[in-house]
C-alpha cells in the first residue's frame, strides 16, 4: 500500500495577521465582505464602518444587495463575551438592523445558545449569525482565513414586510423561480453568493463596483422578462453622464453583446438602465420558465463579461473632464 503523507493543520490567532482589531482587522474585513457573504449566503455591499449607536460604534454596516436589508457586523478578537452580546442587541435596536453578524475567534456555548434563542424569538424580524474566524496553515504553506458559521437562522432569511404574512400563490412562484435561478448562478457559474430566493418579481446582484451599478433580472410589466445593468451612484447627473458615455459606445457594445439593447435614461428617476427583454411571465409552463431562466442567466453573464471594462473606461473619461473634486471616481 502506498504511503500517504499528510501535513499538519495549524491554527493561529487573528493577531498573527492583524495587530489591531479596530485598526487592522475591521478595515480588511470591510474590503473583503465577499468572504463573509459566501459563508452566510448573502451578497453584501459596504455602507460604512464605525457607525455610532449611542455610546458604542458598530464595526461594519452593510446592505444585502438583493433585499436592501441593513446588516450589522460586529467582530472581536478572542472569545465572545457578554459586553458584545449586549452591543449587538443595541445595534439591532438603535440602527434598525435586520441582520446581525457576530464574528469572534470562539463562540462560548452560552452565547451560541443566546443567538439560537434570539433567532427563535425574533421570528425573522431580525436574524442573527454567530461566526468563528481563524487563521490556518499547513506546515509552511501560506496562511488562510477561515469562517465557520456556528449559529444561524433555522429557516431561510425572510425580508421584513413578509414575516407572518401568507404568501400568495403568485409570490410563491416567484420565490421558487428565483431560488432555482440563483442556485444555478451560484453553483454552476460562480456569479453570486446569494442563497435565498424571495417572493418578489425581481432580483439584484452585486457588481465589480456596486456603489455605481448592479446587475438585475425581473418580470416587468406587459408580460416581459428583463435583464439589466442598473446605474445608480446616488446622483442623477453623474448617472446620466455614465449612461451617455456608454450609449456613445452603444454600437460596439451591442456588437459584443450580440443583440440590440434597450437604452433607458429613466427621466423621472435618479437611476438609468441598460437592458434586454423577451416575452414571458411567471405563470408560464415549467418548460418555458426553464427556458426563461436559461435566457436570463446567459444575459446576466454577458453583461458581467462585457460591460465592466467599458464602465471603468467611461468613469475615467468622466473623471478627467470634471472639475477637481467634482467627478465620478473610477473605483
State the average pLDDT over residues 155-164. Answer: 46
pLDDT score at 328: 56
Torsion sign (Cα): 136, 142, 145, 150: negative
pLDDT score at 209: 86
Q: How far apart are CA 66 and CA 215, in angstroms?
A: 10
State the Rg of the chain over Cα. Answer: 22
User: pTM score, two decimals?
Assistant: 0.65
Kindly tell me if the per-residue pLDDT of 327 is higher than 60.
no
Share of the chain above pLDDT 90, in %: 61
The alpha-helical segments, DSSP class H, found in 41-136 are 82-94, 109-122
**Least confident among 27-31, 77-81, 169-173, 260-264:** 169-173
Kindly tell me if the per-residue pLDDT of 164 is higher than 80.
no
The owner of cell 438603535 is 94
Per-residue burial over 142-166, b = 16 or more CB atoms within 10 Å of its CB, e = otherwise: eeeeebeebbbbeeebbbeeeeeee
The alpha-helical segments, DSSP class H, found in 188-285 are 236-248, 250-257
pLDDT score at 167: 66
C-alpha cell at position 264: 433607458
Domains, the chain, in order of start with CATH, read 9-151 (3.40.1350.10), 169-321 (3.30.1460)
Pairwise pLDDT comparison (16 vs 321), residue with the higher score: 16
Note whether 126 and 100 are within 8 A (CB).
Answer: yes
The highest-confidence range among 104-118, 157-171, 185-199, 312-326, by mean pLDDT, is 104-118
C-alpha cell at position 204: 439584484
CA distances from 294 to 90, 110, 190, 221 (A): 44, 46, 15, 20
Q: How far apart are CA 131 and CA 148, in angstroms?
A: 6
Percentages helix, strand, coil for the chain (3-state, rounded to 5) are 40, 25, 35
pLDDT score at 62: 92
CA distances from 78 to 16, 31, 35, 105, 133 (A): 12, 22, 20, 5, 10
Q: How far apart are CA 20 and CA 77, in angstroms?
A: 9
C-alpha cell at position 305: 463579461
Q: What are the beta bridge partners of residue 13?
A: none
Strand, helix or coil for residue 320: helix
Q: Give CA angle at 63 (198, 303), nearest 5°.
A: 70
pLDDT score at 177: 95
The owner of cell 460562480 is 190
Concatenate the DSSP letters of all residues of 135-190 into one string. Answer: EEEETTSPPEEEEEEEE--SS----TTSTT-PPPHHHHHHHHHHHHHHHHHHHTT-
Amino acid at each position: 500500500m502506498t504511503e500517504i503523507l499528510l501535513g499538519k493543520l495549524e491554527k493561529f490567532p487573528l493577531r498573527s495577521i492583524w495587530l489591531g482589531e479596530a485598526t487592522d482587522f475591521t478595515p480588511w474585513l470591510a474590503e473583503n465582505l465577499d468572504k463573509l457573504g459566501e459563508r452566510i449566503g448573502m451578497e453584501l455591499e459596504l455602507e460604512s464602518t464605525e457607525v455610532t449607536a449611542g455610546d458604542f460604534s458598530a464595526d461594519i454596516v452593510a446592505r444585502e444587495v438583493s433585499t436592501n436589508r441593513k446588516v450589522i457586523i460586529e467582530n472581536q478578537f478572542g472569545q465572545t463575551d457578554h459586553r458584545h452580546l449586549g452591543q449587538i442587541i443595541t445595534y439591532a435596536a438603535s440602527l434598525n438592523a435586520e441582520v446581525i453578524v457576530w464574528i469572534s475567534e470562539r463562540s462560548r456555548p452560552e452565547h451560541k445558545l443566546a443567538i439560537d434563542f434570539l433567532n427563535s424569538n425574533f421570528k425573522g424580524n431580525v436574524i442573527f449569525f454567530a461566526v468563528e474566524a481563524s487563521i490556518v496553515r499547513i506546515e509552511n504553506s501560506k496562511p488562510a482565513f477561515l469562517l465557520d458559521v456556528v449559529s444561524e437562522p433555522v429557516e431561510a432569511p425572510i425580508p421584513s414586510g413578509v414575516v407572518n404574512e401568507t404568501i400568495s400563490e403568485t409570490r410563491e412562484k416567484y420565490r421558487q423561480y428565483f431560488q432555482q435561478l440563483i442556485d444555478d448562478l451560484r453553483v454552476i457559474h460562480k456569479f453570486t453568493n446569494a442563497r435565498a430566493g424571495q417572493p418578489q418579481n425581481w432580483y439584484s446582484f452585486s457588481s465589480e463596483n456596486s456603489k455605481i451599478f448592479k446587475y438585475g433580472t425581473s418580470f416587468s410589466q406587459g408580460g416581459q422578462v428583463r435583464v439589466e445593468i442598473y446605474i445608480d451612484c446616488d446622483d442623477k447627473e453623474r448617472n446620466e453622464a455614465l449612461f451617455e458615455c456608454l450609449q456613445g459606445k452603444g454600437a460596439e457594445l451591442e456588437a459584443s453583446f450580440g443583440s440590440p439593447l434597450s437604452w433607458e435614461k429613466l427621466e423621472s428617476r435618479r437611476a438609468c438602465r441598460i437592458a434586454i427583454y423577451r416575452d414571458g411571465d411567471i405563470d408560464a409552463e415549467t418548460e418555458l420558465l426553464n427556458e426563461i431562466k436559461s435566457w436570463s442567466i446567459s444575459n446576466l453573464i454577458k453583461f458581467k463579461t462585457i460591460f465592466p471594462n467599458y464602465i471603468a473606461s467611461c468613469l475615467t473619461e468622466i473623471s478627467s473632464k470634471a472639475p477637481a473634486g467634482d467627478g465620478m471616481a473610477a473605483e
